[in-house]
Amino acid sequence: MIDAGAVAGSPVTVTKTLVIMPCAVRTLVPDTLEANTLTTADCGAPHRAGSFARVYSVTASTGDALDVQLSASFDAYLIVTNGAGSVLASNNDCSVSTTTACIRNVVVPASGVRIEATTFVAGATGTFSLLVTKPQPPAGPILLSQRKANGSTVIGVDSTTDESTVVLRADTLRDPNPRDTLRLQIERTRPAGRGGHDHAHRFD
């Protein structure tokens, strides 16, 4: 209502409609660092009452696996949803530091995936960096060798041994993804004509 005192026609009632707009969704490309600032001008976090947020849609294909990390000057809170807004995973702390949150091995559903970069403490603001990565395959083993039971005598490729024990070795295995566990798989095949079957043995 607007009241202009003794002016003719006063007071006048003005009808207003308040429309609450959803968060703007920004596009984020995997393996590209997003460095920005969360302010009071940002939208309210869809899944974190009282907190501000920035929402990102990740460019990825259905079935892709993603790792997400949010580092900030505030107590970071990370929420991953599908394209319909249903929460897939969330995390407050992924290390000793409360300013970093991370979620690993998120499988992208058919509806896509969205990320809410938000705060654990309501109303907090500050700078942040958001990184989405696709886990990288490990490098193939190097310095492969097959040896006799003493561990030192090398058995050549396509050669035979007169011992019942064989030592199989791979000197180096590398995985670029932190905290992943690697396994070396070795296949032993019996010579043709002996009625045998292939056997696979796994060693951690």
Token digits of residue 102: 């991370």
Tell me whether residue 6 is in a domain. no
Residues 151 and 185 in one domain: yes
Q: What's the average model confidence in pLDDT over 165-176?
A: 75
Q: Which domain holds residue 155?
A: 139-203
73-91 pLDDT tens trace: 999 999 999 999 999 999 9
Q: What is the pTM of this model?
A: 0.63
Residues 32 and 59 in one domain: yes
Total of domains in the chain? 2
Tell me whether residue 3 is in a domain. no
Phi, psi at residue 69, to the nearest 5°? Answer: -135, 130
Tell me whether residue 16 is in a domain. no
Residues 31 and 92 in one domain: yes
More confident residue, 77 or 167: 77
From 114, 133, 152, the end of a domain falls on 133
More confident residue, 75 or 195: 75
pLDDT at position 203? 40
132-161 pLDDT tens trace: 998 777 777 777 788 888 888 888 888 888
pLDDT at position 169? 77
Which range is most confident: 38-47, 133-142, 175-184? 38-47
Residues 126 and 184 in one domain: no
Residues 125 and 151 in one domain: no
Tell me whether residue 118 is in a domain. yes
